[in-house]
Amino acid sequence: MRTALVTGGTRGIGAAIAKALQDAGYKVAANYAGNDEAAARFSEETGIKSYKWSVADYDQCAKGVAAVEADLGPVDVLVNNAGITRDVMFHKMTPEDWQAVINVNLNGIFNMTHQVFAGMRERKFGRIVSISSINGQKGQMGQTNYSAAKAGEIGFTKALAQEAARFGVTVNAICPGYIGTEMVMAVPEAVREKI
């Protein structure tokens, strides 16, 4: 039985992915960063163990992946789903707004993938899937930080896929449109109607 790890896996798209992987017969671990109550509820409802760390922190990722692998075995499937928004028009965007989104959404996929890639190469099998966004393809007003990070995920995916293919490791990105998750529903309705 293969092991799958889903970042941002206790809510929204990540929770749906984690459940689908469980239904498909995988051993699944769900990472989360902050909402202890939601993670506990998710784990109680699904039986999928949740692990808390920030994907923006390389050392936390190393420790987190080590804990998952100690419990479930080597990670065969990594779904880089964790993401945040700090939407604001560019002229009002602070360096903190920029860095927070880049650190989680873009640096996070490096931090996580780097932990599992060597093992996948050695075992000649791996699946790396990053959840990018349509806004990484077309851009979105008020999301220069998010759009830049999600476009970066696409570039990361295209480059790593070329390195990984000969080792039996596939690397793909999915670019969803707007899905009624907690993150999207936090956008004011008047704005959602226009996008």
Give the pLDDT confidence score for residue 179 in this predicted structure.
61
Beta bridge partners of 80: 130
Is position 58 annotated as part of the catalytic site?
Answer: no
CA angle 49, 126, 12 (to 5 degrees): 40
CA distance 117 to 120: 5
The pLDDT tens digits for 74-124 are 999 999 999 999 999 999 999 999 999 999 999 999 999 999 999 999 999
Active-site entry in 26, 32, 51, 146 = 146
Q: What pLDDT, on a 0 to 100 scale, did the predictor assign at position 177?
A: 79
pLDDT at residue 176 above 60? yes
Residue 30's pLDDT band, with cuts at 50, 70 and 90, is: very high
Q: Answer whether residue 195 shows pLDDT above 60.
A: no
* Averaged pLDDT, 123-138: 95
Helices (H) and strands (E) in the chain, counts: 9, 6
- The DSSP secondary-structure symbol of 81 reads -
pLDDT of residue 182: 64
Per-residue buried b or exposed e for 130-167, using 16+ beta carbons within 10 Å of the residue's own CB: bbbbebbeeeeebbbbbbbbbbbbbebbeebeeebeee
Lowest mean pLDDT among 112-116, 137-141, 169-173: 137-141
For position 186, what pLDDT does the model report?
Answer: 59
What's the average model confidence in pLDDT over 162-180?
A: 90
- The region that residue 65 occupies, defined by phi over 0 for left and psi between -120 and 50 for alpha, beta otherwise, is alpha
- With a cut of 70, say whether residue 35 has pLDDT above it: yes
Quick check: 129 and 78 in contact, CB under 8 A? yes
